[in-house]
Structure 1
């Protein structure tokens, strides 16, 4: 079950964190993995790990620039799976978020995903189908303090994913999204170290306990859900969002 042998998978932001875990797992399941990263060095490191047991390729690309995205997808050619995962975070409320920061979050998180949808859909239509998975967030459905721009972008990811599911159902293209809560990645460790250098352990514990289950998620747990949703076993699933949140949405009363 859950074999991706013979499939070509494109993963944006696949060089670190959740994207890296997805890249590694998809390769283990037999996919040819194509990692798109702004920081090609991180993509190269993940590709080097994968090449010990599978096939992977790295591409330097700014997902906010449409022509770069189109060129990369055209060079890849066959795309059976797209994981729209690249994104950036931002801290701020509506009246404390600078216009430049809002625009940057939009360009990377929203326009970046649109550019990938725009580039991959003609390829998938031509080859007779495909699966698309986009990384939204619990912030797309519940209010998260001080995450105005980030929440905007993840709400857009959710909405775009549902729209694509509806519009391309007849083309045998499935589109779903996942909504993680806080996942323990190097990004989280760096965020804590930068903003709370004097009480890192205390803040880590506080952030962990914000999930009812009592801990942060693991990138590998998100990757396992991504694998199912992108596999042939999930062929009857489209137009859905899947929280992976340790009970945050339903149980955090």
Structure 2
């Protein structure tokens, strides 16, 4: 297992056709806070030109009166965006949905790096909840991706991805937009693609109760490797984030 030297200090496992990234967020270091502040607007809205205080207010409006489950899901998704940005991936969507104060109805994330496109699904939960292990959340994220690829969903996820990528503030290249549009049109025609032809990022975030607990990294890595041996994909990145609490992020947007 390799330790990276970025602000996240993630532990990574690389193989020919998979990557596993394990990230612990015990506290918000000064370096992490500076990185969040630097990229908060672009993650939320793309190159909108809004100032960070205005965007924080929009985030506060979203989180207000949301359930704990929804808060965890939204915070988890933000940190996956943040981590992938640190890893050099370009976000081809906005964190904020195009509909005010609503949840995305398609994929949780669409990215590109070195002319390769990636699709992300994020799942999260409390350490006290059922199936509160990272490998369970990764399996759920993969199953949700598979359902979306197979057309077992109400909404067209490619249409939502295309709408995000078509926003001028996102700055998505035309060839990527054309590819997503073709997949959206095919979905409408009930011509569904094979998940084995795509690069996917199933992500898991587990929230602790404000008290840090170290994870058994060897067990986690072994469980994930065993799990993904049953998955179909072109290439895969597994992300497992453990956060000490929900309140850390809420305190940030309220600062």
Q: Is the structural similarity TM-score above 0.5? A: no
Q: Which has the higher contact order (CA 8 A, sep 6+)?
A: 2
Instruction: State the TM-score, normalizing by the size of structure 2.
Output: 0.25
TM-score normalized with structure 1 length: 0.25
Q: Whose strand proportion is higher, 1 or 2? A: 2
